[in-house]
């Protein structure tokens, strides 16, 4: 493998200057290997989704609930990555240029989630009681909310969310690729200009999607900061995923000398910060409801503590905050790959606890407590397989770093103060 400049090798017009020339294998994932990973992942995904949907004949509420849980788990990772890219362009950050293409690959899976939403359409009446005419007819509170909670408006909003997310992901991704072979500075300015309104649309859509797809599972309950809670968890999970992906790529021989301990240190600091933010929002929501002690609000938390749900709630506390907070508190943990990887994996486990905690207790209408079935695992394998398969193809399609970005050298030479 030659040691020529990757700009000259892969993208005419791009400019990369660095004291150490980059080998092609440092910024390219071998296509054959990526296709193998993608093929296996897609096969697992198809089998997992089919196996999950077959179960709708026996227990549709449990099965569609499991599907929604897995769907939201991976969707929030993609949305968190979209936020990372938007924030990167708005702030004109230079340190994260070498990490940006990985985040772009993750966010590029967002259009796929519009397709994966289709199976949920057939299970909406099993998930959302406000879609059942018989329930609405005898429930005055749901009737008062019917201007917002109705099937037609629900569908229109869902289409709008997917159009915004997919549009942003496609535009930012394509412009980033064009940057490799064009005027990097001019395209970077366009990306920054588009990211400001894009961030506003992102904030609105993720908030209302959280209201629609999670909070309305319990239509009598409401929280004005629920959207922020879902947002904070999404960013926390995405940062952990970026750390894991970068380390996996480096273990495969890529990004050596490109993503350095300095970049991991900043990712670790962001992960630590959003871990604190996630806990702050979660505790604020809980504390205000606990302090007011209004039955119309407290029942949502009681449903997540009684009838065997307490261990799950404690899992959210420990894996979502306490363990990663203490683990990532020191500089040592952020600047050493082993400890940082452990912290990132703990956070991802916390995301599983949190999303399951948000969805499944709301569907436990008969108060049977947690019922982990094989549908839960097939749903994770199904959605996760499709997610990983498309991600592998996206990572291999273009260089793993934006070789035409004018700030690439600053990122390669970046050092923490």
DSSP 11: -
DSSP 318: I
In which band, very low, low, confident or very high, does the pLDDT at 10 lie, cut at 50, 70 and 90? very low
Instruction: Find the domain containing 274 and state its range.
Output: 41-133+151-398
In which band, very low, low, confident or very high, does the pLDDT at 369 lie, cut at 50, 70 and 90? confident
Sign of CA dihedral 187, 10, 36, 346: negative
* 402 pLDDT higher than 50: yes
CA dist 370 → 66, 174, 238, 359, 383 (Å): 12, 43, 27, 11, 21
CB 123 within 8 A of CB 60: yes
pLDDT at 25: 60
Q: Is the residue at 91 inside a domain? A: yes
What would you report as the CA-atom Rg of the chain, rounded to the nearest whole angstrom? 22
Q: Average pLDDT for residues 295-310, to the nearest whole number?
A: 94
Percentage of the chain exceeding pLDDT 90 = 84
* 13 pLDDT higher than 70: no
Cα 357 to chain centroid distance, Å, stands at: 16
Q: Is the residue at 266 inside a domain? A: yes
Cα 229 to chain centroid distance, Å, stands at: 13
User: For residue 98, what are its two tokens?
Assistant: 């070498």
Q: Is the residue at 23 inside a domain? A: no
* 8 pLDDT higher than 50: no
* 166 pLDDT higher than 50: yes
pLDDT at 22: 59
Q: Is the residue at 15 inside a domain? A: no
pLDDT at 27: 86
Q: Could you tell me which of 159, 133, 158, 162 has the C-alpha nearest to residue 146?
A: 133
Torsional class of 12: left (φ above 0), alpha (ψ -120 to 50), beta (otherwise): beta
Q: Average pLDDT for residues 124-131, to the nearest whole number?
A: 95
Could you write out the DSSP letters of every residue in 80-148?
A: HHHHHHHHHHHHT-STTHHHHHHHHHHHTTHHHHHHHTHHHHTTHHHH-GGG-HHHHHT-HHHHHTTTT
Q: Could you tell me which of 314, 312, 286 has the C-alpha nearest to residue 225?
A: 286
Mean pLDDT over the full length of the chain: 92
Q: Is the residue at 94 inside a domain? A: yes
Nearest-angstrom CA–CA distance, 331 and 417: 12
Listed range (227-231, 255-259, 300-304) with the worst mean pLDDT: 255-259
Q: Average pLDDT for residues 316-327, to the nearest whole number?
A: 98
pLDDT at 364: 84
* 6 pLDDT higher than 60: no
- What count of residues does the chain have? 417
Instruction: Tell me how crowded residue 104 is: count the other CB atoms within 10 A of its CB.
Output: 25
CB 82 within 8 A of CB 165: yes
Nearest-angstrom CA–CA distance, 94 and 99: 10
pLDDT at 215: 97
3-state percent breakdown (helix, strand, coil) of the chain, nearest 5:
75, 0, 25
Q: Is the residue at 280 inside a domain? A: yes
Q: Read off φ and ψ for residue 94, nearest 5 degrees.
A: -105, -30
Q: Is the residue at 50 inside a domain? A: yes
User: For residue 21, what are its two tokens?
Assistant: 């020339």
* 63 pLDDT higher than 90: yes
124 or 57, higher pLDDT: 124
Nearest-angstrom CA–CA distance, 265 and 255: 16
Q: Is the residue at 230 inside a domain? A: yes
The tens digit of pLDDT for each residue in 265-299 reads: 999 999 999 999 999 999 999 999 999 999 989 99
Percentage of the chain exceeding pLDDT 70 = 94
In which band, very low, low, confident or very high, does the pLDDT at 366 lie, cut at 50, 70 and 90? low
User: For residue 361, what are its two tokens?
Assistant: 């207790």
pLDDT at 367: 78
pLDDT at 59: 86
Q: Tell me how many domains the chain contains.
A: 1
């Amino acid at each position: 493998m030659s040691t020529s400049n990757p700009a000259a090798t892969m993208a005419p017009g791009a400019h990369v200057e660095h004291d150490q020339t980059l080998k092609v294998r440092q910024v390219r994932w071998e296509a054959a290997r990526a296709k193998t990973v993608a093929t296996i992942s897609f096969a697992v995904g198809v089998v997992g989704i089919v196996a999950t949907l077959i179960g709708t004949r026996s227990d549709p509420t449990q099965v569609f609930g499991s599907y929604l849980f897995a769907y939201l788990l991976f969707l929030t990772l993609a949305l968190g990555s979209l936020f990372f890219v938007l924030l990167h362009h708005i702030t004109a950050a230079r340190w994260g240029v070498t990490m940006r293409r990985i985040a772009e690959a993750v966010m590029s899976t967002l259009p796929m989630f519009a397709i994966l939403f289709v199976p949920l359409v057939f299970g909406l009446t099993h998930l959302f009681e406000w879609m059942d005419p018989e329930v609405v007819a005898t429930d005055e509170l749901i009737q008062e909310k019917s201007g917002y909670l109705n099937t037609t408006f629900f569908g229109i909003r869902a289409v709008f969310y997917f159009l915004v997310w997919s549009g942003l992901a496609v535009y930012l991704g394509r412009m980033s690729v064009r940057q490799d072979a064009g005027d990097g500075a001019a395209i970077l300015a366009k990306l920054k200009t588009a990211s400001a309104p894009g961030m506003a649309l992102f904030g609105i859509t993720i908030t209302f999607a959280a209201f629609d797809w999670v909070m309305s599972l319990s239509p009598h309950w409401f929280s004005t900061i629920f959207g922020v809670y879902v947002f904070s968890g999404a960013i926390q999970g995405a940062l952990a995923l970026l750390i894991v992906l970068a380390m996996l790529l480096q273990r495969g021989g890529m990004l050596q000398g490109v993503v350095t301990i300095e970049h991991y240190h900043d990712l670790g600091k962001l992960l630590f910060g959003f871990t604190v933010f996630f806990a702050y929002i979660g505790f604020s929501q809980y504390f205000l409801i606990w302090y007011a002690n209004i039955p119309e609000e407290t029942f949502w938390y009681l449903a997540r503590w009684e009838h065997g749900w307490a261990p799950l709630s404690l899992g959210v506390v420990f894996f979502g905050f306490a363990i990663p907070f203490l683990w990532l508190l020191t500089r040592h943990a952020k600047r050493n790959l082993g400890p940082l990887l452990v912290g990132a994996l703990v956070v991802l486990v916390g995301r599983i606890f949190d999303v399951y905690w948000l969805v499944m207790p709301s569907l436990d209408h008969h108060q049977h407590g947690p019922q982990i079935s094989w549908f839960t695992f097939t749903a994770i394998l199904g959605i996760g397989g499709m997610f990983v398969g498309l991600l592998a193809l996206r990572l291999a399609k273009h260089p793993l770093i934006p070789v035409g970005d004018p700030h690439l050298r600053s990122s390669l030479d970046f050092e923490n103060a």
